[in-house]
Amino acid sequence: MRTSSTLAFAAPASALTCVALTLFACGDATGGLHTAHAEIVAEEDARGNSGLDRIGHHFASDDPAVRRLAVRALGRLEDPGQLERIGEFLDDDDVSVRATAAAAMAQAVFGAPSEAAARALAARIDVETDPAVLGSLATNLGRIAPGSPAARAETDAALVRVAARLPSPADDRGLIGHVGLARGIDAFARSIQPNGRLSAELVAVVGSLGSLGAPAGGVAATVAARARRLAAAALVTTGQIDADAVRALLQDSDWDVRRQAMIAAGRHGTAAAEVVPAGLADPHWRVRVDALAAFDRWLRPEAGCAAIVAAMDDPNPHVAATAIGLAVRPCPDRAAQVAALQARIGVMDDPDADWRAPARALYALAAIAPEAAAEDLARLASHANPFVRAWAARTAGVTGDQGTLTQLATDPTPNVREAALRGLAAAAEAGAEPPPDLTDIYTAQLEANDPQLVMTATRLLVDRAGADAPLPQLLAALARFSATQRETERDVRVALLDGIGAVGGFSRDDLVPYLTDFDPVIAQRAAALLTESTGEAHQATPQPLPRTPTPTATRLRELERSAVVLHMAGLGDIVIALRPNQAATNADRFARLAAEGHFDGLTFHRVEPNFVIQGGSPNANEYSGDGPYSRDEISGAAHWRGTVGLSTRGRDTGDAQIFINLVDNLRLDFNYTIYGEVVEGMEVVDAVQEGAVIQSAEVVSR
């Protein structure tokens, strides 16, 4: 491990108390707890393939911290067959175990309706007295998808019953019960879409949550604001927020509550003519971002683009970028629009100048006045920064500049070549005469080692050439990616197998080796192709790779006292406290890779204002990461602003890319792993733009 220093910092406001946000997952720091935790994690990570003996043993522990780890592990198996065992803990003597059991029961049936789980949780409402457990019952009832109108009505009524049993806000320590109820209603509102609505009784409950307040500046104020945001979000989701309520949101002291007014206006047009102009003038830039989106949908058709053009000069770069992005469609005053974009293109020859606004402006200009973009496109295509050249490829795709696209198809950076391939394909689909060697251009990319590039090239090659696509090159690419034995390259290997199947002409010997592949998805796909091509049944017998060892008790103690500092070039430091109590294996992996220098020089390649920033990819794209997959470790923790999560492409497909929540993103709850939290440097997180560089990462003691 790199040299480690000691870092002192204050706990973030979002931490509140350990109990309030992690559903009691903190525990004490005894050696016995860490030993038990390590044993539980090992069986949990194996997904039951090594048995559940140690988990079962720890059910009987006298330590409630151990019992809740054990019952949470059962839920993480996502096996409805475990409901009965989990249900035994709903009446545990310890409050924290009961709360965790509610979350485990809902996780056991993740993604599917389950009247059994919903009724088991609802049955506890009338006997439970602790507000924290009542909040957990509400949170987890709300996220179980109702399978019928009757089940929907039962959940709605159960949430109303929770509200009736909660103590007053003054008697609800940390407002944990009220926030739990708000989380449940918000999740329920989403689960009954597209057309579901809340009952009048539940709407009344939402109204009371929307009026929660607390003295400004304290932790309680933060929690109360969260409840108000969730209350507003639930009504926005179901379309049950009226103009008066939207206007009232604008008066809230919390910027994220005011942002809900913009979301309501943007989604439904509610009071848009009144609230959107106020949002465009809001002092907080995140409100202005969503106000622009609402303006574009509802006011632009009549008001024109003056507000969008004005927002290009916003002092916040995210607002300006949003405005430039909206300028890809023609405005009534096209001349003014073109002039505004040209004014922002600037000089692209300086490699040290900020390229983001000019690159986006040129892309927008190309969409409305391609002839005006031609001269600057050449400079963009030769820029030293590969992110800029990727924008050049996208711009050339809009203008149909096949000369530039062909040039960029040989760029040294895979992301640039991938964007160029997409542009060439789009030009061909639009009726342009493709380059005579287009098939060769696609085929050449199969020799690359970037999964995203090869996936795109394979799809385009097969679409263009069909049965004439070069089978040997497809098979060679499949063999090359397979030889590295990287689980995280599953997607490109699936794409290649699909391409091989579409082209046909392969022999049995070409695919038989993949019947015993280390990845069961690949083995099953190879078996299906062989069965289809030969008419004889072929069985997949995958040979999985050994799992990465899970952290020991000693390592868990170390991780609890550790943070990862991302030193962002030109911006400052982002300090991420690790949360091994929530996600032991992923916190361990993140710290280990940071100590090994894995993240040094990598970037945040995805920046979505009012959602997330994502980075840590060696090739700055979605499909390039660290080798083995890590398992999801879903906890009851919410995706509040500042939490750090694991990027995945389906269950148990973590590749060590990270994302940081820029706002409260509770729609990600119970689906994505949280293994850290930004405790210093959220202003740096907010300043991150596309291509921001992680100069270095280090692990420090705290």
pLDDT band at 217 (very low <50, low <70, confident <90, very high): confident
Residue 401 tokens, joined: 């500049």
- Least Cα distance to 262 among 293, 228, 225 occurs for 293
Q: Look up residue 404 and give its two tokens.
A: 């530039």
Write phi, then psi, for 645 (nearest 5 degrees). -125, 175
Instruction: Note the pLDDT of residue 349.
Output: 64
Instruction: Give the number of other CB atoms < 10 A from CB of residue 106.
Output: 27
62 Cβ neighbours under 8 A, 6+ residues apart: none
Structure tokens at 589: 């992996």
Between 641 and 19, whose confidence is greater? 641
Q: Provide the pairing of β-strand 603-607 with 612-615.
A: antiparallel
Distance CA 483, CA 605 (A): 28
Mean pLDDT of 189-215: 95
- Continuous segment of H or E residues that includes residue 574: strand 572-578
Residues 681, 577: contact at Cβ < 8 Å?
Answer: no
Give me the amino acid identity at 104.
A
Q: Are 695 and 601 in contact (CB under 8 A)?
A: yes
Averaged pLDDT of the chain: 94
Phi, psi of 663 (to 5 degrees): -135, 180
Residue 40 and residue 58 in contact, taking contact as beta carbons nearer than 8 Å: yes
Number of H helices, E strands in the chain: 34, 8
Tell me which residue of 176, 253, 177, 182 sits closest to 16, measured CA to CA.
176
For residues 112, 117, 122, 128, the Cα torsion angle rounded to the nearest 10 degrees is: -130
Main-chain dihedrals φ then ψ at residue 700, nearest 5 degrees: -125, 160
Given this model, what pLDDT does residue 347 score?
Answer: 64
Q: What token pair was written down for 618?
A: 């060696």
Per DSSP, the three-state class of 645 is strand
* Architecture of the 553-701 domain: Beta Barrel (2.40)
Strand partners, 677: 577, 643
Residue 175's region, left for phi above 0, alpha for psi from -120 to 50, else beta, is left
Band of the pLDDT at 3, cuts 50, 70, 90? very low
More confident position, 3 or 558? 558
pLDDT tens sequence across 456-513: 999 999 999 999 999 999 999 999 999 999 999 999 999 999 999 999 999 999 999 9
Handedness of CA 238, 240, 245, 246 (dihedral sign): positive
Confidence of residue 20 (pLDDT cuts 50, 70, 90): very low
* Torsions phi, psi for 605 (to 5 deg): -90, -15
372: Cα within 13 Å, side-chain hemisphere: 19
Q: Are 442 and 417 in contact (CB under 8 A)?
A: no
pLDDT at site 22 = 39
Beta bridge partners of 660: 613, 644
Reply yes or no on whether the pLDDT at 24 is more than 70.
no
Question: What 3-state DSSP class applies to 196?
Answer: coil
pLDDT recorded at residue 215? 75
Return d(Cα 210, Cα 204) in angstroms, integer. Answer: 10
Q: How many CB atoms lie within 10 A of CB 421?
A: 25
Give the closest residue to 521 by CA, choosing from 496, 504, 549. Answer: 496
Strand partners, 614: 606, 659
Dump pLDDT digits (tens) for 72-85. Answer: 999 999 999 999 99
C-alpha distances in Å from residue 374, one per residue of 8, 248, 263, 363, 400: 53, 48, 37, 11, 11
Give residue-wise pLDDT tens across range 158-171.
999 999 999 999 99
Task: Give the angle 136-579-546 at the CA atoms, nearest 5°.
Answer: 105
Q: Are 198 and 176 in contact (CB under 8 A)?
A: no
Weakest-pLDDT range from 18-32, 115-129, 436-450: 18-32
Q: Where are the beta strands (DSSP E) in 306-413?
A: none
Nearest C-alpha neighbor of 417 from the set 383, 394, 440:
394
Residue 12: the pLDDT is 47
Q: Residues 119-154: pLDDT tens digits?
A: 999 999 999 999 999 999 999 999 999 999 999 999
Tokens of residue 480, six digits: 């090359």
Integer Cα distance of 382 and 395 in angstroms: 13
Share of the chain above pLDDT 70, in %: 95
The encoded tokens of residue 224 equal 């109360």
pLDDT in tens, 248-286: 999 999 999 999 999 999 999 999 999 999 999 999 999
Cβ contact 643:676 at 8 Å: yes
Distance from C-alpha of 296 to C-alpha of 290, rounded to nearest angstrom: 10
| pLDDT recorded at residue 594 | 98
Rounded to an integer, the average pLDDT of 411-433 is 94
pLDDT of residue 29 exceeding 60 = no
Instruction: Please give, one letter per residue, the 3-state secondary structure of 270-309.
Output: CCHHHHHHHHHCCCCHHHHHHHHHHHHHHHHHHHCCHHHH
List the chain domain ranges: 553-701
| pLDDT band of 25, cuts 50, 70, 90 | very low
- Mean pLDDT for the stretch of residues 314-335: 96
Whether residue 408 has pLDDT greater than 80 = yes
Sign of CA dihedral 209, 215, 216, 218: negative
Q: How far apart are CA 276 and CA 263, in angstroms?
A: 10
With beta carbons less than 8 A apart as the criterion, state whether 272 and 257 touch: no
Bridge partners (DSSP) listed for residue 480: none
pLDDT for the residue 401: 95
Confidence (pLDDT) at 430:
85
Q: Which residue, among 681, 637, 642, has the nearest Cα to 661 in the 3D structure?
A: 642
